[in-house]
Structures are given as structure tokens and as C-alpha cells.
Structure 1
Amino acid sequence: MPDDTQFQDFDHARLRHHGDVDARPGMVDFAVNVQGSAPPEWLRERLAARLGQLGRYPGEDDERAARAAVAARHGRALEDVLLLAGVAEGFAMLPRLGSRLAAVIHPSFTEPELALRQAGVPVARVMLAPPYTLDGAAVPENADLVVVGNPTNPTSVLHPADGIRALRRPGRIVVVDEAFADAVPGEAESLAGESCPDVLVFRSLTKTWALAGLRCGYVLGAPEVLARLNHGRPHWPLGTLQLEAIAAVSEPAAVAEAQRKAETIAADRAAMIPRLRAIGIEVREPARGPFLLIRVPDAELLRKKLADKGIAVRRGDTFPGLDPGFLRVAVRPAAEVDRLVAAIRDVGL
């Protein structure tokens, strides 16, 4: 049901908390969902080849080439693509749509709500109960903006595309956060390839390609809606290396590589779940993302004990709708899961 406290004060610090705060350099990182510590060699080489051109401003040709690569990747028109310096930048643009009432479906990534609230947009929280099945009937009919994650961070739930389409209403824009869609084999349930006048699909490139420090992403939507998002943006919003990275990872060979990574993640997740349950941890399913939502008797104590052993996990209580017993853990290969399991056994739940 919608949260009737939407017009009251909100906790800025909790909404702004993200997993990078929990992961110090050198820790075994289950807190951040980036795959790997650095981009693959071929991508590093491609970016390095542009370093000699950083003395000039990024040109229209670079921007157009990156947009064209994204458009071709999703079978969309060039005008349907707006490039972003990370998806968080795109969420910061949402207030420009002039919403009178925004509904944010929770538990979910908190930046969209924070951006809307900071701009004075009234926000209704739509809280989903376990197993976090999407319920369009719970969204206020007068909401003219609806934000939903797919797959959703932190629940790892993948909503059916038909359920998201059913959120559409005359005069309403549906925002779909697909930051982790490329980590799902076949990009199942994605709306990125559909040209709908009232649907915006946000995509991140920082997770799969270990580009968190470069800030790369894009939004797909109707040109007139993208123009509203883009209004008032400064000139040269993305640099040369960002544009090169977006173009590079949108090419067919890179998309195929991402899908191989998605299949590996799915296999690692399937192996990780029973191992966590075997040591007494409650794992929430269904799970289709590159992370798992878990519940333990004392999450904060366990998080601190694991940090003392050099292992970072993400606290879950900063996500609206989750109590202090929740943690989020990234899906990792067996060797890293070995260390996590051993540490939990050592410190106890």
C-alpha cells in the first residue's frame, strides 16, 4: 500500500547510503555489485587509445557515435537515446518531468526517491511485501510518475514485463530502472527494445564492465520526454572516455560477452544460495539479479564482525520497507563465497 507519510520529513542520509561506503580498499567485496575490480583488457586498451585526444573537447561525432551504438544495440531510433554520466545522473533529472505525485515502488534503489523529494516532488511509497510481487493496484491512480526497478535492487526480483506495462496510464510516465538487466541471461523481461511514448528505461554500464569510476549509462525513451530530461543540462555533459566506453560496450561482441557473464552470474547464484542456507542464513527468493537479499538474527552485528575479518556486505535497513535484519550480498564466484561462509561460521550468526 502507498505510504501515507509521503509528505513528511525523510532521512536523507539513509536514502543516500550505498554499498561503496561499506567496502574499504582491500576488503573482499560483497557490498558493491560491480563485476570485477577493473574493465577487461580490451576495453582498457580502447580507452587508453583515446588518452592522447583529451586535450580537445568531446565532439558531436563522438556523442553521435555512442548514441548510434546504443540505438543499434536495442533496435531503437537514434533520437530515443540520451547518454548519461551514470544512471544516478538520470535519476537526478526526473524532477524536470514536473510530476505532481510520484510513486516509487519499494524496496528499491533509493536515488530516484531522493532526487524527487529534494526537488519538492510529493512521493508516495508503494511497499511490496515478500516475495515482493509487483502489484499495480497498489499504485495511486493519480500518480503521474511511477518508478520501478527490474531486476530490483536489493530484492533481486525480476518483474514480468507485462506487469510493468500494466502500470501505464494516460498522463503517466513509467520509469524502469534496468541498471542490472544485462546481468540477467537473455535480458529477460526488459523493455529496452520497446518504443513506448510513456516509458523511460534507464541502463547502467558501470556494473558489468567495472566502470563505476567512469560513470556511464543512458536512458531510452520518446524524444520529447528525453528533451524534457535534458533541458538545462550543461554543455559537454560526458567526456571523451565516457563516450568511447558507451560505444565500445554497446557493440555486438561486447553484448555477447556481457551475456556470457550473465550466465556465469546465474550459475554462481544457484551455487551460492544453498551454501548460505546451509549455515542458517535466510535467503529471499525468487532471485534473478547479481545479488541476494538475506536475513539474519542480528544483521548489524554480523556486518561489523565480517568487516573486522576484511569482508564487506551491504546493510539492508537503508532500503525503505526492510527492517534491520536484512543484508544484501553480491553474487560472487565459489572461492570468494568460501571466504564468506568460513567467516560467518567463525563469527557466528
Structure 2
Amino acid sequence: MGNLPSPHVSASGTTTGRRLAVAGVVTAVVVVVAWTQRRDLADVVRGVHLADPRWLLVLAAALLLWWAAWTALHATALAGVTRLRAADLPAVAGGAVSAVALNSVVTSAGLAGLAAMARAGRRRGLPRTEVATAYLLAATVTDLGFLLVLLAGFGVLGARGELTGLDWLAGGLFTLLSVARVALTVLAVRRPAALHALAVRAARVRAAVTRRPAAAPDPARTRELVETAEVLTRRPARAVPPLLAAACVDVAGVGMLWAALAAVGGPHDLGLALSAYVLASVAAILGPLPGGIGAAELGAGAALTVAGVPLGIAAAATLLFRVAEFWVPLAVGGLAWVAVREGEPA
């Protein structure tokens, strides 16, 4: 009996094996595409090497704005549920950077970053319940902020007659996801027991699909979601500052893709950058790997090439964009997480 693996280890090994299998399939597809398009890839390398340094500075400025918007998102969410002092902002900024990195490598619907914000809260002596409520408030308005940018951008593209089928598909999918999240918020306020029952059913469906033992939903997480929903419905004005900050996150993301496209000789078209950003974001949400690895790149590249951008330029722009929007924040956030962890008392 002592030599038999526990069910937890077995399930973990199964999950790891499936993720490795998915990663292997994605890698194989990338290798095949790279080999068949090797001539165009030479243009990608050349485009990145010859990127306009002025536009690279714009890209860097957009990245800094993106980080500042993430910090503002979490700071305003915290200020909406507890007293936040100016001295707390450095810890909040570090927690926000670490949260972005954790959410990039863990598939958890954005909840992995709660560990980073909880740690930042402990360092500043903030109550964990209020930190968790603020984090879930920030996570809730993140999609709504993107929806604001999406609606504004679609209005501009529609007025210019530049909406494509891919735009409508990406926008429709994201709208469905947003409606589902809002429905969960309403359900949490009006019928918490029904929300828990829905979570149990979702866990059973997931267990049936993955052929793993069904794990009971964490009642504490359900309770935190209910508390967050109550905050939103009791005083909706508290959600306005985080909502605006969330919209700024996506505005900065569009700016990064716009600057990346211009840096490699592509069109200086904000509407095209918005279209590609929307498709990349939706593809990242639906992609099988954490952080939308592979899916986001395909989404952005497809939107650009459909719009008539040469494949080499589209790929080079997508590469620069993903380095700025994913890999650099992942590296910086990972370093911040490790530095804070090592600095904590044992």
C-alpha cells in the first residue's frame, strides 16, 4: 500500500501529461508552419532587426502605461473596499506586477494573481478578506473595461466601414463571455446557494471531460465572490475608478500593438491595431495554454494578414507585441514575486 501513488499525484500527473501533449502539438504545428514559411520568416528576422528605434520607444512607453494602469486598477479596487495610504502603493504595484505574471502562467480565470495581492496586503497589514474582495472586484471589471474599449473601437471601425468577419466573431465571443460573468455576479447576489450548486455541476462536468476525480468547490472562494458581488451592487460607484483603469490597460495594449506594427514598417493604423488586439485577446482566452501562448500570436497574425499586411511584417509586429505584452511582464513579474518571497520571514 505504501508504494501505491495517491489519487492526487495520479491526477496531477495526468494533467501534466495532457498539458505536455497539448504543448507538443502546438510546437509541432509551429515547426511545420515555420518550415513551410521559412522564406517569410527571414523577413520577420530582418523586420525585427531593422525596427525603427523611435517606434520602439513608443512601444516601451505604452508598456509603462500598461503597468501603471494595472497598478491603478488594483489600487482603486482596494481603495473602494478599505483605507489605502500612499505608503501602500509600492507594495500594491509589486503585487500587481506579480499578479499579472502569475495569471500568465496559471490557468485559473485570473484568480492565481490573488496570491500575489494577498502577500502584498500582508506586508502592509491589510485585512485578507478586504484584499480578496478588492482583487475579485478588479478581476470582475477587467472584462468590462475591455468591453468598453471594444464597443468604442467597433463604433469607430463601423463608421469607417472597416469591420471584418473576424472582428464580429471575436467581439461576439467576448461579449458572450462578459455576459456569463455578469450573470454569475447577479446569481451570487440573489441566490448564493444556486451559485454553489452551479460550481459543483461545473466541477463534475470538468471531471468527466478530464477523467479526474471531481473536486468540491472551495466554499471560501464562493463566499468571496458573493461579498464582491454585494460590494458591486450595494455601491456601484466603487467600481467606476477600477473600470476606467481596466479600460486604460486595454488602451495601452492596443498602443503596444500599434507601435509594434509601425516599428517594422507596417501601416500606422490604430483601427487595424485594435482589430488585431481584440482577436488576439479573445484567442488567448480560448487558447489551451496559459497566457494564450500560440493562440494570441495566431489571432493577431490572422487579423493583420486578413487586412492585407504582408506575412513577414505581420509576424514581426506580432513578435514584438507579444514580447512587450507577455514575455517582459512575465519576466519582471516573476522576479518581483521571487524577490518578495525571499524577503519574507520564514
Alignment TM class, shorter chain as reference: under 0.3
Q: TM-score, normalised by structure 1?
A: 0.26
Structure number with greater CO (CA < 8 Å, separation at least 6) is 2
Larger strand share, 1 or 2: 1
CA radius of gyration, larger in: 2
